[in-house]
Structure 1
Amino acid sequence: MSTQSSQWPALPWNEWAATADTLHMWTQIVGKTRLALTPLQNHWWNVPLYVTAHGLGTSAMPCGGDVLDIEFDFLTHHLHLRHGSGPEASLPLRAQSVASFYKKYLVCLDSLGVDVRINPMPVEVPNPIRFDLDTVHDAYDPVYAQRFWRVLVDAERIFKRFGTGFLGKISPVHFFWGSFDLAVTRFSGRPAPPREGADGIQREAYSHEVISAGFWPGNGGYGAAAFYAYAAPVPEGLGQVAIRPRAAGWDATLGEFIFKYDALLAETSPDVALMEFLTSTYEAAADLAKWDRSTLERQ
């Protein structure tokens, strides 16, 4: 069996930044619907989206006496809204402003009898613009939207393989629409000290010690797609530990390990290189933080 996937398409940030920024807002609209329809789970696990066979989706959400799921389909380039009882609606994914998308989205919800109230102000972005007023973000390149999804498919595949050896508490592999990244998180089982200056979202997310890894496309000013890994709280000396592969390393500005996506593409086997990054960063953080690895890991 080959150890390398034939996927892993090129994803240069400068080629699709405008599309990514628009798609980020669209996913927040759908994500806030999931937030409104689902009960709180630990660490906000009730709010992310999930990689699907065609894109990103909510999974089934309780909706009155029915269930509702919403999916970004990056093969047909439509947003699908489906009731478990049969009725459905959709709108095309194409170049259009966030305000236009939001208006059409609300019409779709209304046509299905979905009564939900969401906060129209984006989160976790600088200078947010209300969804209904945002005519700035209006790009959609279907080629790059599909490439992004294909990267998420392969990243999820490796993240899930990485998780098979961990017996402790571990999150699903899920897509956080606030930060626009795919993530998976391991827990030591110990409560974490309070984070200085943390808001309610962070207090819930980081209530316990974690080691997390993920992928994000370069938004937030970073400007390049990358895999990341971090520990919270950060154990002393973590930034001085050598990790694998050699192209990966500690980013002092971000306070986490970074393996740029272009460096992954340059590897002989991207799958193997990504697994090395996930494994070596976890081991470094777990050892320095004195996690009980003999109990938490499959021997």
Structure 2
Amino acid sequence: MSERLNAWPTLVYEDLAPMVDYVNRVVQVAGKYTLDEPFEAGWGNIVLDVTPRGLSTPTLRQRGVTFTVHYSLLDGGVVIEADNGSRTVPLSEGSVAMFYASFCEAADELGIHRPRSSLICEIPDAPPRFEDDRVERTWDGHAARLIWTALNLAADGLEAWQAPFLGHRPRVGVMWGGFDLSATRYRAQPTVPPAHQPPFMQNAQLDAYVSVGFSFGDAKAPNVGMYAYIWPQPDGLGGRSWGVEGAAWHPDAGLVRLPWARLRETADPHQAIVAFGDAVYDAAVETAGWPSDLVGPRVEGWYMSRTPPSLVEHQHG
């Protein structure tokens, strides 16, 4: 039990909030490059991958240069790696404005154009642009490791949940605007987004989807843990079981929530994430008419590293 709880550490919003706020802002800098990529349903093209040491953009291509940007949370730096060289920009001191200036300078040296937008998005009360955010920041290595650990553990569970889905499912990754880890399943059912939503949210709601993810919460709702919702939101979600003890429907927020504290107390938190996702999809099938045959069997897979050669010959004979 103690080994499992150590692997799934305690997460307290108030302790992590300063670093979450800082990382949320700086990942938007390189995140802007993904807006130039071909659009996938629900902005699936923009997510940052959870890597062994942080968060990374997908491979990006501009005329004459191919590159990635890796936010190494465990090292306190950002590596721009291109086919013609690499540059490292520190995160350990200074303001968001200072980081943005250093990042653009490093990108210019590699022949990479600076991000086409410097707007800070989806962060209440933030300055309008990176250049305007001059608050001095202190890098907290311990909090950075906890942030990465939570994202890494949650991503592992969400990837297992997504594996048998036969429909469109962008890769599991961090949506850098709201800084939440997202695993989304789509079906080809056009929907009408609310007219009052900003354009990026309207684009995200052009088709029906089921979303399961992880969030650190915010000052108004410091809910660290898993969340899920169904778009468009169907009736009949109240009073359901959500696969894991402690998971509950919150009608005011339009979310099913599974607090991290309850998740880490389960016998198998990894499997609990899968069970939580399965329960949300079952709700979509039962209340919103989602097809049950879009989910194939969940199997361990065929691992060649431990499959006897004789069995391989037999199966291919």
Same fold at TM > 0.5? yes
SS in 1 for 2:155: helix
The unaligned stretches of length 5 or more in structure 1 are none
| Residue of structure 1 in register with 2:302 after alignment | none
The 3-state SS of whatever aligns with 2:68 is strand
Counterparts of residues 1-299 of structure 1 (less than 5 Å): 7-36=7-36, 38-85=37-84, 87-129=85-127, 130-136=129-135, 138-219=137-218, 221-294=220-293, 296-299=294-297
Letter of the aligned partner of 2:12 in structure 1?
Answer: P
Q: Note the C-alpha offset of 1:244.
A: 2.2
Cα RMSD between the aligned structures?
1.8
User: Per-residue displacement from partner, 1:198-251 (whole Å, max 9, x unpaired)?
Assistant: 332122111111110000112252113110010010111113322221211011
**2:30–2:115 Cα contact (<8 Å) kept:** no
Q: C-alpha distance in 1, partners of 2:176/2:5?
A: 26
SS in 1 for 2:153: helix
Opposite residue 292 of structure 2, the aligned amino acid is R
- In the alignment, is the contact (CA less than 8 A) between 2:157 and 2:271 conserved in 1? no
Contact 1:95/1:141, CA 8 A, preserved across alignment: no
Query: Is the 8 Å Cα contact of residues 121 and 128 (structure 1) preserved in structure 2?
Result: no
Which amino acid in the other structure matches residue 59 of structure 2? A
Residue 5 of structure 1 and its aligned partner are, at CA, apart by 8.7
Q: Find the structure with the greater CA-based Rg.
A: 2
- Are the counterparts in 1 of residues 190 and 207 from structure 2 also a CA contact under 8 Å? yes
Kindly indicate whether the alpha-carbon contact (under 8 Å) linking 2:30 and 2:69 is maintained by their aligned counterparts in 1.
Answer: yes
CA contact (8 A) 2:5 2:264 kept: no
Identity among equivalent positions (%) equals 27
Give the secondary-structure state (helix, strand or coil) at the position aligned to 1:238: coil
State the shift of 1:49 in Å: 1.1
Partners in 2 of 1:124 and 1:148 — Cα distance? 19
| Unpaired segments ≥5 residues, structure 2 | 298-317
Q: Distance in 2 between matches of 1:287 and 1:114?
A: 49
Contact 1:16 1:141 in 2 (8 A): no
Q: How many residue pairs are counted as aligned between the two chains?
A: 293
The C-alpha deviation readout for 1:259-285, integer Å capped at 9, x for no partner, is: 011111222221222222111122112
- What SS class does the counterpart of residue 285 from structure 2 fall into? helix
C-alpha distance in structure 1 between counterparts of 2:207 and 2:92, whole Å: 41
Q: Which has the higher contact order (CA 8 A, sep 6+)?
A: 1
Normalised TM-score (structure 2): 0.87
